Structure 1
């Protein structure tokens, strides 16, 4: 699903115009980006946590030449899924495993 599809889906479920949904989604994602860039965490219980992590400097290789290159340290955004999200993703697998065991 991409952003346009998400806007369409939310507009359909809520009955709000697509333009208004787009404004809300844009504001929502902008605020998450601002919070994480400032070093804060953004947590939605059950959904997940957006946070900032530090990646240390390291030595890498240029794939075309094989030459060593220095990769500088960087701050990177990360996401950790919440329990309800993980359970929702894994629910079909558990049901499918149970169905296979029942057939045997």
Structure 2
């Protein structure tokens, strides 16, 4: 499912206009991105959580030349699946294999 499909599903299920549904999606994901940019954790119970990992500076290698390269410190967002989602996906996979 992509963003446009999500907007359409919200529009249908909530009975709102497409611009309203689009605004809701923009607010939702924008708020999540803002929270992660501040270093906050975002948790959606039963679905997933997002958090930011910080990496210190380290020495790496250029794979093409083999030369040592200093890698700057960085922060990266991570996704962790929730227990209920994990079970739901696994259950769907099991049911498909049984049939």
Give the TM-score range, shorter chain. 0.7 to 0.9
Please name the residue that 1:58 is paired with: 58
Unaligned runs of 5+ in 2: none
Deviations 1:46-95 (A, max 9, x none): 01111111123222233333322111111111111111111121112222
With normalisation by structure 2, the TM-score equals 0.85
After superposition, the CA RMSD in angstroms is 1.8
How many equivalent residue pairs?
A: 99
Alpha-carbon distance in 2 for matches of 1:66, 1:20: 52
| Equivalent residue, structure 2, for 1:89 | 89
Note the residue ranges of structure 1 that are not aligned, 5 or more in a row.
Answer: none
Partner SS for 1:40:
coil
The aligned counterpart of 1:17 is 17
Alpha-carbon displacement from aligned partner over 1:6-37 (angstroms, at most 9, x marks no partner) = 11122122221111011011011111111111
Q: What TM-score, normalized to structure 1?
A: 0.81
Runs of 4+ in 1 over 6 A off after TM superposition: none
